[in-house]
A and B are shown apart, each in its own frame.
Chain A
Amino acid sequence: MSTVPDEQGHFGPYGGRFVPETLMAPLEELAAEYARARTDPTFAAELAAILRDYTGRPTPLTFARRLSGRLSDEAEQPIRVYLKREDLCHTGAHKINNTLGQMILARRMGKRRIIAETGAGQHGVATAASAALFGFACRIYMGREDMRRQALNVCRMELMGATVVPVESGSMTLKDATSEAIRDWVTNVADTHYVIGSVVGPHPYPMMVRDFQSVIGRETREQVVAAEGRLPDVLVACVGGGSNAIGIFHPFLGDREVAMIGVEGGGYGPPDQPHAATLSYGEPGVLHGAMSYLLQEEGGQVALAHSISAGLDYPGVGPEHAYLKDSGRARYVWVSDRQAVAAVEALCRLEGILPALESAHAIAHLFRLAADVRERGDAAPAGRPLLIVACLSGRGDKDVETVQEALRAREASA
């Protein structure tokens, strides 16, 4: 079904391989090994077994009854919302779908040293857990600022035997951690596999990570059809690098009637205030090995992103999202820090689910969708409710302190 990327990893004008020469050979090796694994039934069987027995897949598709009621009231029309519960994956987020797949590949390539970058720490924890499971040495690069924001996850990674390396360059966040991981890989390329955590980076990563995350969409498709007897009208997911969004979107790309909305981190409010809404306000550029949309300044410098959610705090975005935006197949919007925090509260109170701040961006957009429906009055085809699936990509335990701080600040200013 999918015709992108091409052999060189291009999604239209995006993607590709913009990396130092030293990495070209290992990327070719990885692409070749992944191509073999993709058609190898033993690889598929091993991955399926580990996703079932270790990760706890399939994850539930939960009907959010009270949230749906609230949104229906808001819209003055029936809305039914299902949540794809990636927060129930082992380690607390969808990230582990990808890290386990890459770990099997690393073992096939004989690489026993694993490195990764992390922002919120969810990818770092998933990598650390997967490396422990496979008995690999593991080193996680994390910006010093993110280590402060996500102290709990630092502790979890260290408990699982990973070394967490503080990155002090630049903005000390995900962008800088990624550069540092690339430097490590260039230096230790012979025995090291770099587990990129999102659908970003040079080919084959955007394609490979997409494939590993597509399990989210494949399950969703079956589950929503079983529950409602039809495909959803709208899919909503947050977008930092964009791996959970691509994961849930991808198996539906051929279904023209299914709308797709990616929700970016709007920070303090773009375009004038610091934000991380790359697809909404960026321009094409090259960062970390791929051509995509990029937040940038004059002279081609990469701009600093801001989002309350460390996982969305990245000035780049996966090349396939750039492609989907340009083609009009998916639509990209943003939600501010403040709205994301309000969505955390709402989901906690209405459903008893504490979402990660990243995932809360998707939830926050549901309220805007409901308001739009009321204004335009054109929801789903007559006679049936608007059916939405939102990807709840991770749980929010890691964010409790950040949310508490934000709530206190809100009260103080009220």
Chain B
Amino acid sequence: MTAHETRLATVFRALRRQHRAALVPYVTAGYPSLEATTHLLETAAGAGADVIEVGYPFSDPMADGPVLQRAHHAALTRARETGHPIDMPGVLAAIHAYVAAGGDESSSTGAPHPRPPVVLMTYYNPVFRHGIDRFVADAVAAGLSGAIIPDLPPEEARALVDATRGTDFSPVFLLAPTSTVQRIREVAELTRGFIYLVSVAGVTGIREAVGDQAEVLVRRVRRETELPVAVGFGISTPEQVARIARIADGAVVGSALMSILLSGEGSVESVAAFAALIAAMRAALGPTASGAASAGES
């Protein structure tokens, strides 16, 4: 482990002290617009998110199910129609607008604390195309805390890991039900922040049952590392969040939230429903302990 603690590690450590799991909602950047993304990040923080995942829309999202495929496609189509194609600087600027405004909401308590950290979920080609060193530098400057790259296993991530050394930026690796013990150890070795556990062999999406396979996987990973683990893929209801919270350090919710935004095309009502689902999931995790690192009630 590195000498200094990353922002993600701090958040998970604080939550562990409170015996509470992190709620990690996801939004696809650029849906329905990049301006809306900044607002949705603020909304998610206000509704009780502990960490927020922002998806970089990609033309060929091979790890994503139908809902997030639609979100990626819609974001790219809208961006093209407005003549402002989505690129890395644009997405980072939208995130930065949210991060930079942090701190003032809690200033009344005298001790400003930053907003829930943001991690970028992106396929590798946009990162590679932007340039790996330049990506890390720009991401750090934008206040991004880490990146989850589903098609970049540790074997191919050497350059990225090297570029993030000594920064507050964490590469987040994934583990799946098919991961061998050796791979679990390799990922634990490279991770600073948290490990992302894929709950089932499959793509992202809404599933009726989540848990048994995830539970086995969490136990296997816990045997190898102390690092916090967040579980994603398929979690869509407050009950499922509560169930995952009993076994893991965090629950990632993507398709259920994007499905709400997509069906309302990002309308005011759909944003309210998006916030309500996050709040209900947050409530399912138990009361906020005093001094919790939440963004406060805005």
A interface residue numbers (CB < 8 A to B): 8, 16-26, 169-170, 175-176, 179, 182-183, 186-190, 284-289, 291, 294, 296-302
Within 8 A of A (CB), among B122-168: 123-130, 150-153, 155-156
| Interface size class, chain B | 35 or more
User: What chain B residues lie within 8 Å of A18 (beta carbons)?
Assistant: 124, 151-153, 156
Please, how many angstroms separate the alpha-carbon atoms of A88 and B117 in the complex? 60
Please, how many angstroms separate the alpha-carbon atoms of A296 and B130 in the complex? 12
Are B151 and A22 within 8 A (Cβ)? no
Are B125 and A22 within 8 A (Cβ)? no
Tell me if B266 is interfacial: C-beta within 8 Å of chain A: no
Tell me if B177 is interfacial: C-beta within 8 Å of chain A: yes
Q: How many A-B residue pairs have CB under 8 A?
A: 121
Sample of 14 A–B contacts (CB below 8 Å):
A16-B155, A22-B201, A169-B73, A186-B63, A186-B202, A284-B128, A285-B129, A286-B124, A287-B125, A299-B86, A300-B87, A300-B88, A300-B129, A302-B125
Are A285 and B178 within 8 A (Cβ)? no
Are B150 and A20 within 8 A (Cβ)? yes
In the complex where A20-B176, A24-B183, A190-B201 touch, is A301 in contact with B153 (Cβ < 8 A)? no
Are B127 and A186 within 8 A (Cβ)? no
Are B87 and A298 within 8 A (Cβ)? yes
In the complex where A21-B174, A285-B125 touch, is A187 in contact with B202 (Cβ < 8 A)? yes
User: What chain A residues lie within 8 Å of B296 (beta carbons)?
Assistant: none
Are A300 and B151 within 8 A (Cβ)? no
Are B129 and A17 within 8 A (Cβ)? no
User: What chain B residues lie within 8 Å of A189 (beta carbons)?
Assistant: 178, 201
Binds A, one of B32-40, B54-62, B247-255, B284-292: B54-62
Tell me if B65 is interfacial: C-beta within 8 Å of chain A: yes
Tell me if B229 is interfacial: C-beta within 8 Å of chain A: no
Tell me if B180 is interfacial: C-beta within 8 Å of chain A: yes
User: What chain A residues lie within 8 Å of B156 (beta carbons)?
Assistant: 16-18
Chain B interface secondary structure, helix, strand, loop or mixed?
Answer: loop
Instruction: Name the one of B59, B174, B201 contacting A302, with C-beta atoms under 8 angstroms.
Output: B59
Beta-carbon nearest neighbor of B197 in chain A: A21
Are B60 and A20 within 8 A (Cβ)? no
B173 to chain A, nearest CB (A): 8
Are A300 and B63 within 8 A (Cβ)? no
User: What chain B residues lie within 8 Å of A302 (beta carbons)?
Assistant: 59-60, 125
User: What chain A residues lie within 8 Å of B175 (beta carbons)?
Assistant: 21
A85 to chain B, nearest CB (A): 35
Instruction: Name the one of B60, B87, B125, B178 contacting A179, with C-beta atoms under 8 angstroms.
Output: B60
Are A22 and B176 within 8 A (Cβ)? yes
Tell me if B11 is interfacial: C-beta within 8 Å of chain A: no
Are A286 and B178 within 8 A (Cβ)? no
B interface residue numbers (CB < 8 A to A): 58-63, 65, 69, 73, 76, 85-88, 90, 123-130, 150-153, 155-156, 173-180, 183, 198, 201-203
In the complex where A285-B129, A294-B125, A296-B125 touch, is A21 in contact with B153 (Cβ < 8 A)? yes
Please, how many angstroms separate the alpha-carbon atoms of A411 and B174 in the complex? 57
Are A26 and B58 within 8 A (Cβ)? no
User: What chain A residues lie within 8 Å of B76 (beta carbons)?
Assistant: 301
User: What chain B residues lie within 8 Å of A188 (beta carbons)?
Assistant: 201
Beta-carbon nearest neighbor of A316 in chain B: B60
Are B180 and A183 within 8 A (Cβ)? no
Please, how many angstroms separate the alpha-carbon atoms of A291 and B156 in the complex? 10
B190 to chain A, nearest CB (A): 13
User: What chain A residues lie within 8 Å of B150 (beta carbons)?
Assistant: 20-21
A228 to chain B, nearest CB (A): 45
User: What chain A residues lie within 8 Å of B126 (beta carbons)?
Assistant: 299-301
In the complex where A187-B201, A187-B203, A300-B130 touch, is A19 in contact with B178 (Cβ < 8 A)? no
Interface centre among A182, A296, A297, A299 (most CB of B within 10 A): A299
Are A24 and B59 within 8 A (Cβ)? no
Are B62 and A182 within 8 A (Cβ)? yes
Are B203 and A183 within 8 A (Cβ)? yes
User: What chain B residues lie within 8 Å of A25 (beta carbons)?
Assistant: 178-180, 183
Beta-carbon nearest neighbor of B91 in chain A: A299
User: What chain A residues lie within 8 Å of B128 (beta carbons)?
Assistant: 284-286, 291, 300
Interface centre among A285, A286, A287, A296 (most CB of B within 10 A): A286
